[in-house]
Amino acid sequence: MSQATLSSGRVRYRLAPWARIAGLAVCALLTLGPVVWTVSTSLRTPAEAFDLPPQLVPSNPSTEAYRGVFDQIDVWLLALNSTLVTGLIAVGQMITAGLAGYAFARLEFRFKKPLFGLVLATMMVPLQVTIVPVFLVLKSMSLTDTLLGLIIPAFPTAFGTFLMRQYFLGMPKDLGEAAMLDGAGPWRTFRSVYAPLAAPGLAIVGVLAFNYHWNEFFRPLILETSGQNYTLPLGLVSLQGNLGTGSISVVLAGVVLSMLPAVAVFVVGQRPLREGITSAGVNR
Partner 1 sequence: MTNTQTPPARAARPEAAPAPTRKRPPARDRGSRLLATLFLAPTIVGIVVFTVVPIVGSVVLSLFHWNVIDSPGYAGLSNYGEVFGDSTVLVSFRNTLVFMVFAVALQLLIALALALTINGRMPVWLRSVFRSAFFFPLVLSAASISVVMKYLFNQDFGVVNWLLGFVGIAPVPWLTSENAAMATVVLVYVWQQFGFSFLLFIGGLNNIPKEIHEAAALDGATGLRKHLTVTLPLLSPTLLVASVVGIINALQVFEQPYVLTNGGPGDSTRTVVMVIYETAFEQLRFGEASAVGVLLFALIMAVTALQFRLSRRFVHYQ
Stretch 153-172 residues interacting with partner 1 (CB under 8 A)? 153, 155-158, 161, 172
- Which residues inside 212-271 make contact with partner 1, applying CB under 8 A? 214-218, 221-222, 233-234, 236-237, 240, 248, 251-252, 255, 258-259, 262-263, 265-266, 270
32 vs 47, beta carbon nearer partner 1: 32
Candidate residues 77, 115, 195, 203; the one interacting with partner 1 per rule CB under 8 A: 115
- Interaction of residue 15 with partner 1, rule CB under 8 A: no
Candidate residues 122, 145, 148, 166; the one interacting with partner 1 per rule CB under 8 A: 122
Write the binding mask 60 to 99 for partner 1: x where contact by CB under 8 A, - elsewhere.
-----------------------------------xxx-x
81 vs 258, beta carbon nearer partner 1: 258
For residue 37, the minimal CB distance to partner 1 (Å) is 6
- Interaction of residue 186 with partner 1, rule CB under 8 A: yes
Q: Which residues contact 189 (CB under 8 A, 6 or more apart)?
A: 176, 179, 180
- Which residues inside 36-65 make contact with partner 1, applying CB under 8 A? 37-38, 50, 52-54
43 vs 251, beta carbon nearer partner 1: 251
146 vs 215, beta carbon nearer partner 1: 215
76 vs 109, beta carbon nearer partner 1: 109
- Interaction of residue 196 with partner 1, rule CB under 8 A: no
